[in-house]
C-alpha cells in the first residue's frame, strides 16, 4: 500500500480494510466507530490540514532570513493561521480519551506535547502583532526559522503517532510519513556530504594558518614594521583565498535546507566576518605600504639621502599594530570554526542516522 493516499475513504467505514480490523478485547465496533467519527477523524484532519497549510512556507532558514518583506509577511500569516487551527481544531478533540489502549497512549503523548507547545511557541505567536513593523522584521525572520521547524515537527510527529496507533493505520502505518522521511534523509545526506567536503577544504585552511600566522605575528610584533612585499605575498594569497573561495563555500552550505538555526547563526557570523577581516587586512596593508613609500620618496627628494623617514617609521609602526590586531581576530575566527566543524559533523551524522532508522523502521516501531 505504498501508493495509498490519505482521503476521506481512509477514515470511514467504507474503507475496504475497515471490516478486517482487529479491535482490542472489550472494544466493540460500535464504540470504535463512535470515537472514529467524533474524535479520531477530526484529529487526523486537523493535523493533516495544518501540515498542508504549512507546506507552502517550508523554506530553508536562509530563504526566510533573506525573503522580501512581502514574502516574510505571507509566511508569518500562514504560521498564524496554522497556530489558530491547532488551537481551534486540534485542541478540543485531542482531549477526549480513546477506547483503544495503544491509541490512548499516542493521544496522551500528543496532548502533552500540545500543552507544552501552547505555553511556549503558540503563546509567542499570539503575542506578536499581525503585521510587525519594519524595524522588527529581523527578529521576525529569526523567530520564523524556529517556528516553522517546530510546528512542522509537532504536526508530522503527532500525525504519524496517531496513525500508527489507529486500527486502520496498522496496515501501513507510515504511508504518510514515507513521503516525508525520504526527503529528510536526502537533505541530511546532502548536508553531510557537503560538510565532509567543507571539512576537507578547511584542513587546507588550517594547515596554511599554522604555517603562516605564527611567523607573521612574531615578525610584526618583533619589528613593529609593515612587512616587505616579498614577506607579505604568502599572507596576501591566503587572505584572498579566504575572502573568495572559502567564504563562497560557507555561503553554499548556508543555503542548504537541512541546516539548523544554531548552526546557521555561527556559520553566518563566520561567512560575514572572515571576508570582511580579510579585505580590511589587504586594504590596510596596501594603503600603509603606499603611505610609507610616499613618505620615504619625499624624504629622499628633500635631503638626497636613502629615503629613511621618521614619519614613515611612525606610520609603519601604527599600521603594523592594526595589522596584527585584525590578523589575530581572523586567527581566532578560524580557530573557532575549526573547533566547531567536528562537533557539527558529528551532530549531522547522528541526525542522518536517525532519519535512516526512522525511514527503515517506520514511525510505529
**Where exactly are the structural domains of the chain?**
8-173, 186-360
The residue ranking higher by pLDDT, 143 or 308, is 143
Contacts of residue 244, defined as CB under 8 A and 6 or more positions apart, other chains included, come to 275
Task: Indicate the DSSP class of residue 36.
Answer: I
The owner of cell 535546507 is 257
Q: What is the pLDDT of residue 362?
A: 46
What mean pLDDT do residues 171-176 have? 42
3-state secondary structure string across 260-295: CHHHHHHHHHHHHHHHHHHHHHHHHHHHHHHHHHHH
Higher pLDDT, 116 or 17: 116
Mean pLDDT for the chain overall: 81
The answer to whether residues 352 and 185 touch, using CB atoms and an 8 Å cutoff, is yes
Using the predicted structure, report yes or no on whether residue 20 has a pLDDT greater than 80: no
Reduced to 3 states (helix: H, G, I; strand: E, B; else coil), residue 18 is: helix
Query: What is the pLDDT, as a whole number, of residue 353?
Result: 59
pLDDT band at 365 (very low <50, low <70, confident <90, very high): very low
Closest CA to 314 of 291, 346, 332: 291
pLDDT surpasses 50 at 167: yes
| Cβ-contact 175, 2 below 8 angstroms | yes
List pLDDT tens digits, range 60-109. 777 888 889 999 999 999 999 999 999 999 999 999 999 999 899 999 99
Amino acid at each position: 500500500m505504498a501508493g495509498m493516499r490519505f482521503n476521506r475513504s481512509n477514515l470511514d467505514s467504507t474503507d475496504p480494510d475497515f471490516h478486517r480490523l482487529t479491535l482490542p478485547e472489550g472494544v466493540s465496533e460500535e464504540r470504535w466507530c463512535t470515537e472514529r467519527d467524533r474524535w479520531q477523524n477530526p484529529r487526523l484532519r486537523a493535523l493533516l490540514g495544518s501540515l498542508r497549510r504549512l507546506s507552502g512556507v517550508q523554506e530553508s532558514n536562509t530563504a526566510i532570513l533573506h525573503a522580501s518583506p512581502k514574502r516574510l509577511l505571507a509566511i508569518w500569516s500562514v504560521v498564524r493561521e496554522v497556530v489558530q487551527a491547532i488551537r481551534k481544531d486540534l485542541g478540543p478533540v485531542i482531549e477526549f480519551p480513546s477506547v483503544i489502549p495503544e491509541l490512548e497512549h499516542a493521544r496522551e503523548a500528543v496532548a502533552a506535547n500540545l500543552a507544552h507547545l501552547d505555553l511556549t511557541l503558540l503563546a509567542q505567536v499570539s503575542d506578536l502583532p499581525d503585521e510587525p513593523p519594519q524595524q522588527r522584521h529581523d527578529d521576525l525572520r529569526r523567530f520564523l526559522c524556529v517556528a516553522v521547524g517546530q510546528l512542522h515537527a509537532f504536526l508530522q510527529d503527532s500525525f504519524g503517532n496517531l496513525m500508527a496507533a489507529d486500527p486502520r493505520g496498522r496496515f501501513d502505518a507510515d504511508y504518510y510519513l514515507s513521503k516525508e522521511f525520504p526527503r529528510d534523509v536526502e537533505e541530511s545526506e546532502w548536508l553531510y556530504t557537503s560538510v565532509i567536503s567543507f571539512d576537507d577544504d578547511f584542513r587546507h585552511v588550517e594547515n596554511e594558518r599554522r604555517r603562516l600566522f605564527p611567523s607573521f605575528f612574531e615578525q610584526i610584533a618583533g619589528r613593529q614594521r609593515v612587512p616587505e612585499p616579498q614577506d607579505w605575498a604568502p599572507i596576501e594569497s591566503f587572505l584572498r583565498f579566504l575572502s573568495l573561495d572559502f567564504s563562497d563555500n560557507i555561503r553554499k552550505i548556508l543555503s542548504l535546507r537541512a541546516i539548523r538555526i544554531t548552526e546557521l547563526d555561527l556559520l553566518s557570523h563566520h561567512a560575514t566576518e572572515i571576508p570582511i577581516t580579510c579585505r580590511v587586512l589587504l586594504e590596510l596593508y596596501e594603503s600603509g605600504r603606499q603611505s610609507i613609500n610616499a613618505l620615504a620618496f619625499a624624504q629622499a627628494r628633500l635631503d638626497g639621502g636613502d629615503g629613511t623617514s621618521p614619519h614613515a617609521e611612525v606610520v609603519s609602526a601604527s599600521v603594523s599594530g592594526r595589522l596584527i590586531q585584525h590578523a589575530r581576530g581572523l586567527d581566532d575566527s578560524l580557530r573557532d570554526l575549526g573547533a566547531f566543524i567536528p562537533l557539527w559533523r558529528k551532530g549531522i551524522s547522528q541526525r542522518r542516522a536517525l532519519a535512516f532508522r526512522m525511514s527503515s523502521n517506520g514511525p510505529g516501531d
